[in-house]
Amino acid sequence: MDTALFEYTGGLADDALVSAQRMGWWISRAPELEEDVALANIGLDQLGQARNLLTYAGEIEGEGRSEDDLAYLRDERYFRNVKLVERPMTDFGVAMARLLTFATYQLHLYRTLATGDLGERDETLAAIAAKAVKEVAYHVDHATHWVLRLGDGTEESHTRMQSALDAEWPYLEELFGPLDPVLTGRVADRSALRDAVLSDVRRVVTEATLSVPEVPPALGGGRDGLHTEHLGYLLAEMQHLHRSHPGAKW
């Protein structure tokens, strides 16, 4: 098995999957029905990306595990997502701060996978990424519009948007972890995306009259399966049905 590629693909898949699950929390809870639908759409886009990526991870592994096996039957320790996406997202400001940062990262990541300067591009990841680029571009747009309105809105919305950004910012660093050298030229080097991603996010933050947080990065470890206490609860809810009724279908 190509362990490095399996881990890399698993990281991309789990970021999207866990983020989708958090986004799903908003269904029926958004400020208006219209926003409910928008957030559900975004969550479903992410879920679609996760499904393709998990299926591919299963193929790389070569042990016959399907997307469902990987999504529903792995324990927390085997999830490779960053901590950014697993933490609770029950404040609308936090939801928009997270979507802005995470989707901007995904946009640069998927673009590089699909059309970046890669000598021995992984064609499957490139195809999955090419399909997802338009989706995440819309996610960035949606989050941008909200951050601008909340940041440059009322005093209350400004304060809450700023504290949301402050809360998310320490977790951005983990997105830009180093690339396993054996994957050089085959997939996107996430550490090389840092400047472009942060500069895009900073532009929105500044335009929204907010300040770019100056905070030390939080402890990483998500890519090695070391998570916050929140992921276990999220997985319990997400996996419960499949584990209680293995192979259940709609």
Interface residues with other proteins (CB under 8 A) are 32-35, 37-38, 41, 141-142, 145, 149
**Cα–Cα dist 124/243, whole Å:** 30
Give alpha helix (H) positions in 62-193: 67-72, 83-86, 92-115, 123-151, 155-168
Q: How far is the CB of 48 from other proteins (least distance, A)?
A: 13
Choice between 143 and 183, CB closer to other proteins: 143
Amino acid in position 101: T
Q: How far is the CB of 136 from other proteins (least distance, A)?
A: 15
Amino acid in position 231: L
Q: How far is the CB of 199 from other proteins (least distance, A)?
A: 23
9 Cβ partners below 8 Å, 6+ apart? 53, 56, 57, 60, 125
Choice between 36 and 69, CB closer to other proteins: 36
Choice between 45 and 122, CB closer to other proteins: 45
Q: How far is the CB of 197 from other proteins (least distance, A)?
A: 22
Check residue 218 and report its DSSP letter. P
Q: How far is the CB of 177 from other proteins (least distance, A)?
A: 33
Choice between 94 and 148, CB closer to other proteins: 148
* 8 Å CB contact between 103 and 23: no
Choice between 34 and 117, CB closer to other proteins: 34
* 8 Å CB contact between 213 and 153: no
Task: Considering only the C-alpha atoms of the chain, give the largest distance between any 2 of them, rounded to a whole number of Å.
Answer: 55
Choice between 121 and 142, CB closer to other proteins: 142
Element (H, E) at 221: none
Q: How far is the CB of 157 from other proteins (least distance, A)?
A: 11
CA 170 to the chain's CA centroid: 15
